[in-house]
Amino acid sequence: MSVGSRLVELRKERGWTQSKLAEMAHLSASAIAMYETNRRTPDPAALGKLSKALGVPKNAFASDSPEVDSLEAGGLNVPSKPAPDAAPAAAPVIPAQVPETHVDEDTAKVTTLALTREEARVILFLRMHPECTGFMESYVLASASKRKQLEDTLRLLNQFQK
């Protein structure tokens, strides 16, 4: 069962509307609608607000898929083994030190990170289209020749659309 389906089930058990859940969780009604239709995946902070509002632990949203586990870990669901045709991995990526600011006790921690416009666009796209995350992960982990093949395919698709 997906996070969205479980969220619908928990909300309806309580007889709440999406608006009521949004109010109780301090989220927007449109965010609730997107979570329930799996057009968007709740981040760890939103997952915490939802679980608190519904009075259930975070793992109540768990399913057979690793989606929620990766959310609670605060990261992307990256496969543990690279694709068979992937090049050997370079040095491990170490997260950058990020300044943290606490707004107050009742709100989540705010993290500030400097991004280029392109990085921000990719993040926004993946937040709006979580179904594309798997493709992005496979692209990043792919060998140079496989990435070149994908880029050539994209170029051809763009030419046909013109």
Model pLDDT for residues 123-160, shown as the tens digit of each residue: 888 888 888 888 888 888 888 898 888 888 888 888 88
- Count of domains observed in the chain: 2
Q: Give yes or no: residues 144 and 105 share one domain.
A: no
Percentage of the chain surpassing pLDDT 70? 69
Query: Cα–Cα distance between 59 and 102 in angstroms, integer?
Result: 26
Q: Give yes or no: residues 15 and 43 share one domain.
A: yes
Q: Give yes or no: residues 40 and 2 share one domain.
A: yes
Q: Give yes or no: residues 105 and 145 share one domain.
A: no
- Is residue 73 over pLDDT 70? no
Q: Give the structural domain span for 49.
A: 1-76+100-112
Q: Give yes or no: residues 65 and 14 share one domain.
A: yes
Give the model's pLDDT for residue 142. Answer: 86
CA atoms within 13 A on the CB side of 35: 28
Do 51 and 10 contact (CB within 8 A), yes or no? no
Give the model's pLDDT for residue 15. Answer: 92
